[in-house]
Structure 1
């Protein structure tokens, strides 16, 4: 019993020394800084969570662009050939938009056609409430810096859109849409017409291919038993 009474005070004494030693190694200001960093990280996590929830409800590019197309599977060569007359003609056909969207995905620039389609739908909205909601949605997904599907527009156009978000109109995104449209028409559309995706739909071969059959040579032997060759068509 005397041994127990002797040991317990020793344990309490050692515990106090360990606590003091721990405080010496980890100063209070360091602990406070760590708690502040943890709090800041938690706030950033909550902010990203709220943004993710907002995009899920009304701002994801799938929701913003309901006309997102899959690649056409049964387009006639005659129909596909019509798309080469102009970029405007291509956009008139749903299969043309689908094929062009597939091509842009191979170049990692599908956000351009998705933004253009979202703007086309936006201009058809006649409700102020829906207009405001959709405008914020398009801005969050396509316009603001580091947006999930940020399009390439100039700084002044981006700033003007941001200012007009408080009271958006149907023409709020016209300048940005025109810039993206011009980019697709001058840059992406010509490459699309020479892509394997389009050439496959038109049943045509690429520039390096030929439609002629190769000629073969048949081997014959002369009277002296020497091998010669003469051309013969297939």
Structure 2
């Protein structure tokens, strides 16, 4: 009885796994499981690459999703911090107000809202058409795209419009989305910020700070009492 021994010198079975040698012998590059694993890892790395996109391009620091406000405690005079409760506009007009509001949003895992709003403000102030195109693509990749690492909560119709606009961007191509995020922060986030421990610590108060409303300068005459005026 003759025994035939087939040798495959091209395979090193002592160092390669049996499965790898088997698939090589069949002419396959690698097992399906291995290819699926590598595909998963590539998708996983995609978001991290997008997160670093802005930092590599040297764009405005507020646009970068990796940008984090300083964690050091600043000394903010309580009277100054109290002014932030006058209106949401007053809060955003103060650099320290933006910083502490961002800290608060981070506790709610929604800091992408203020970062997107700041990115849009920077975008609208861009003069160079070349930089405008670059920043438009960056904002879309980081905040708008369905796989964006800092995707903001806007409706599908607005996203679709932005997707078309970024091909030939103008300074107003993000205005609708920015207004929606602004309204969301003003309506939902801002009131909670005023009652948060972060803000109460700044104002040296133990209870919620009441929101003040500025009186309108317009008035109407009261028909019942001639000569009297009622503030609106």
**Both proteins in one fold, TM over 0.5:** yes
CA apart distance, 1:131? 0.5
Instruction: Note closer, same or farther for the CA distance 1:179–1:170 as it changes in structure 2 (3 Å cut).
Output: same
Contact 2:133 2:168 in 1 (8 A): yes
* SS of match in other structure, 2:104: helix
Aligned position for 1:106: 107
Structure of larger gyration radius = 1
Aligned position for 1:121: 122
Aligned position for 2:91: 90
Contact 2:50 2:142 in 1 (8 A): no
Question: Is 1:130 equivalent to 2:126 in the alignment?
Answer: no
Counterparts of 1:27 and 1:39, CA distance in 2: 12
Instruction: Note closer, same or farther for the CA distance 1:119–1:199 as it changes in structure 2 (3 Å cut).
Output: same
Instruction: Note closer, same or farther for the CA distance 1:129–1:47 as it changes in structure 2 (3 Å cut).
Output: farther
Instruction: Give the superposed CA RMSD.
Output: 3.5
* SS of match in other structure, 1:74: coil
* SS of match in other structure, 1:119: helix
Aligned position for 1:74: 75
Instruction: Note closer, same or farther for the CA distance 1:113–1:205 as it changes in structure 2 (3 Å cut).
Output: same
Aligned position for 1:190: 191
Question: Is 1:205 equivalent to 2:206 in the alignment?
Answer: yes
Structure 1: give runs of 5+ residues left out of the alignment: 1-8, 208-234
Contact 1:59 1:137 in 2 (8 A): no
Question: Is 1:58 equivalent to 2:58 in the alignment?
Answer: no
Aligned position for 2:166: 165
CA apart distance, 1:58? 2.6
Structure 2: give runs of 5+ residues left out of the alignment: 12-17, 209-232
Contact 2:112 2:151 in 1 (8 A): yes
TM-score normalized with structure 1 length: 0.69
Counterparts of 2:82 and 2:62, CA distance in 1: 31
Q: Tell me the matched-pair count.
A: 192
CA apart distance, 1:163? 0.7
More helix by share: 1
Counterparts of 1:40 and 1:193, CA distance in 2: 48
* SS of match in other structure, 1:15: coil
CA apart distance, 1:69? 3.3
Write out per-residue CA displacement over residues 115-165 of structure 1, whole angstroms, 9 at most, x where no aligned residue: 000000000001111011100000000001121000000000000000111
Contact 1:132 1:168 in 2 (8 A): yes
Specify which structure has the bigger relative contact order, considering alpha-carbon pairs within 8 angstroms and separated by 6 or more residues. Answer: 2
Counterparts of 1:189 and 1:48, CA distance in 2: 33
Instruction: Note closer, same or farther for the CA distance 1:106–1:52 as it changes in structure 2 (3 Å cut).
Output: closer
